[in-house]
Structure 1
Amino acid sequence: MHDIKFIRENPQAFDTALARRGLEPQSSAILALDADRRQVATRMQEAQNRRNEASKLIGAAMGKGDKDEAERLKGEVASLKDTLPALEAEERALTQRLTDVLAIIPNLPLADVPEGADEHANLEVLRWGSPRAFNFPPREHADLGPALGLDFETGALLSGARFTFLRGQIARLERALGQFMLDTQTSEAGYTECNPPVLVRDEAMYGTDKLPKFAEDSFQTTDGRWLIPTAEVSLTASVMGQIIDDAALPLRMTALTLCFRSEAGAAGKDTRGFIRQHQFEKCELVSVVRPEDSAAEHERMTAAAESILQALDLPYRKVLLCTGDMGFGAQKTYDLEVWLPGQDTYREISSCSNCGPFQARRMNTRYRPEGQKGTEFVHTLNGSGLAVGRTLVAVLENYQQEDGSVAVPTVLLPYMGGLTALAAA
């Protein structure tokens, strides 16, 4: 959510920032609506003040024996009482219209975010590891996985497209990956383990900018709750409406949960394999910090996600997203893209974003700086540490052997019950 005060004071800067996202100027329309709202609010306040003043004057007129004046004032008060509800209703309606307009405008990019229309303008800032040199043609996971327990047919039979049934060794490997991620983020990166609900109300989705603009991207139950598209929703919204103690910041939370996405905007994309599923597991990272700490926290969070890829010895690259490829609520985003030899390309496996005060303003989440009376909005950040299914894909493709087996990465061996490789039954 945007700060209307900022738009009033910096309309040109607001429009310039939106232009970097490829959007038309919007400050004039917003400020016109805001002016109407403020005008009605002023009229309402004036009417309330006059009603109070006239009510006091009635007693004074009665004390002087001026019944005519007292009756006139009573009539005025009665008229104002009739007028005020209409003004209050108009003020509420204008406030809601302004809120609705602001709610669908994306966050403003930071100055160091590269400008561009799409992923082709993203900036690679780091490349880690060297792709393995195979002495045989590496296979894609969708070809390699079925013999190891990646059952696409049963998943489709049970639930339709973009669902997969995992069996045996490969199910254990996915569990091992999730547990390794969670253990690493809690024991080494300082995140607090959480186990949040995966069903949430509108307020949680709205506060984390998933509503109203992206309703079609998520699944909703018949009683109105939403299946979370990411644990970012549950973790970030856990501080919704709070004034957090300064001493409690930063808050760092992590959760390994199921996530659900309708993939409404991904028709025809990644229909083969395990890359883009309606149901998947993800180890999510969320930070709630003071405004002055969010830039450093963004680097720290991204490094925490990178540490998983490095521990698994999976080559990857770190990419700074351009203005046209960045998510709605982000003001700056790093993507981590893992090397997939079967596809001969890098694919996204993590996205780490600094949202600034954008979500906090929607959630009304603040903190009181030490020694100050007033409060300020916190900054929120979120990232994948990592997407478990895509990491499984990366392990399958990078650790595959010529005979179709898959070696288990060293760091996962303690989780695999003595299994050192996945092999067809």
Structure 2
Amino acid sequence: MQIYLVGGAVRDQLLNLKVKDRDWVVVGATPKELLSLGYQQVGRNFPVFLHPTTKEEYALARTEKKTGHGYTGFICDFSPNITLKQDLQRRDLTINAIAQTQTGKLIDPYGGISDLNNRTLRHVSSAFSEDPLRVLRVARFAARYHYLGFKIATETLTLMVEITSQGELEHLTIERIWLETEKALNERNPEVYFTVLHKIGAFSVLFPEFNQLYSIYTKIDNFSHNLMILKQAVALTENTQYNKTAIRFSALCYNLASALAKNTELSCCHDYKKLIMDLVSRICIRLKLPNAIKEISLLYCEYNHYIHEAFKLTPQDILTLFNKLDIWRKPQRFEEILLVCEAEFRAKIGSKKSSYLQPKFLLELYQTTLKIDISQIIAEGFEKAEIKQELNCRRLNILTKKRLTILPYFTN
């Protein structure tokens, strides 16, 4: 029995990056042998075991034979006769097909080290085309390592186009599509992920609703502009505790918000507004996104115009906006929506450093309303619906006074 460190741990180690997870492959062993050593088996379809002490994953070396569509149509052979080279051959990219012995020796049968040095993402073999999920994985790796100068090899891009054109992506489950997309959204350069998918024709297959959104408002290159907003959203959320995924996903919905704000005649039409709001709702439901992402995306699309025009809003408009966004119970969500609006502003003017003061203005007004004590209203004898009515009245009163005081500071 021989054990090798494989995959991302070896790759990132060679790139001098922090190693997060360590995966191992075991050659010349059987499930029974590992179980006798105290390893715990996980999964039924292929033998992956957890180390009894470290709990790291140890997988028996295996080969795969394509038997159907998608990424689940495989038969695995994990007999003790499978060699390390055979196991590495089934991996997606050469940079992920490097193994390391327990003494530190590197085993690189497919040129992964050379591709690391040349900053190239290249598929290992023709078996790459048997698993359509690899199209998304390569796009995600391109997003992850873009800052290091990595590019996808021409022949790999060609293969990704072929997989897409053959309809293989349609066999991916929604869960796997979103898992890869969610990971990509949290990389340094998520815009690269979507750019790659767009380039190979996969974007319209995986995210058809966005294509419909982009066709609504066509005065600019919608796809490119949305990615500019996404880049700004990344910069604004890089070192924060906000919901990065929700903010960055919402940035992709810009064209819906733009259509609502600029097509004033149409945005007043209930049927039109419902139609385009349904598009964002539809993609959120189809991708089975968490409610937090769906809420921020929809609220940003519907109310971003009001936030941009915050200085022109009356106190009553501001109170209505706060109530619609339920800022009283979900202040962080409001701040996250403000960040999407700021990303949109920065992308439009092309500068990270330009001042966007509307969020600070609105947040100062919100902070002022927190001085109102609901318990005091109840103590004064207000009941049921009267409590909400009086609360709104006092909030409006304090907003009116505060707005009058601070507005000149923000607009002069």
Shorter-chain TM-score: which interval?
under 0.3
Higher relative contact order (CA 8 A, sep 6+): 1
Q: TM-score scaled to structure 2, two decimals?
A: 0.24
Q: TM-score scaled to structure 1, two decimals?
A: 0.23
Which has the larger share of strand? 1
Which entry has the higher C-alpha Rg, 1 or 2? 1
